[in-house]
Structure 1
């Protein structure tokens, strides 16, 4: 058994969809759309991201976040450069010999961590 999907309440489905497709590799295959407005997009590993319309996504505790693992520290830095160049808010950064990480905000304020650490 493995974790296979994440559901997020978002203000604007298309804005969030473009964000996750551009920066985090979603969009592999057709999206699934449901009568309640939910749109599910997938990445190449078939992880599902369910985006559900909500005019007022709730504030999460400061610790709450989800993360994307990279193959090495250079990949973390490349992703950081791309997001920062596009004006995506970067809220935290660590760059140590055995751990590289940053956190950014998605369009609805969800905290996303991009990181690498050796196995």
Structure 2
């Protein structure tokens, strides 16, 4: 069994779509639109369904989406890009076993980006 999609209510579909395509590898060529929702997929086949025109309030602090990268340098490179672009970075962590940061998307959803020694965080 595997997770195949995540649906998020968003204020502006195109703004959110561009954010996830730019930073998280969702493929613009895969985008399909219908009924106010755009679905875009990443290389692993995970579909992100963004439903637009929603009144999105701040989500609870623990609600987040996680992306795992394959090397600490990849995390730091993405962090640097996002900082240069003015993305809101709300937390950073750098330890020999784990490098991560948390940012927010255009609607305030928290996104955790990490590299970790096998089992350091996801082993709970």
> 8 Å contact 1:11–1:108 — kept in the other structure?
yes
Length-normalised TM-score, structure 1: 0.94
> 8 Å contact 2:59–2:108 — kept in the other structure?
no
- 1:28 Cα deviation after fit: 5.6
Q: Extract structure 1 runs of 4+ deviating beyond 3 A.
A: none
Which residue of structure 1 aligns with residue 77 of structure 2?
A: 78
What is the alpha-carbon distance in structure 2 between the residues aligned to residue 30 and residue 90 of structure 1? 28
- Equivalent residues in 2 for 1:1-119 (5 A)? 1-27=1-27, 29-34=29-34, 36-119=35-118
> 8 Å contact 1:28–1:44 — kept in the other structure?
no
Deviations 1:55-111 (A, max 9, x none): 311332111111100001111000100000000000000000001100001000000
Q: Which has the higher strand share?
A: 2
Length-normalised TM-score, structure 2: 0.91
- 1:27 Cα deviation after fit: 1.3
Aligned residue pairs: how many?
Answer: 118
Deviations 1:1-26 (A, max 9, x none): 10011101010001011111001100
What is the alpha-carbon distance in structure 1 between the residues aligned to residue 43 and residue 108 of structure 2? 25
What is the alpha-carbon distance in structure 2 between the residues aligned to residue 29 and residue 17 of structure 1? 12
- 1:29 Cα deviation after fit: 3.5
Q: Which runs of 5+ in 2 are unaligned?
A: 119-124
What is the alpha-carbon distance in structure 2 between the residues aligned to residue 3 and residue 58 of structure 1? 25
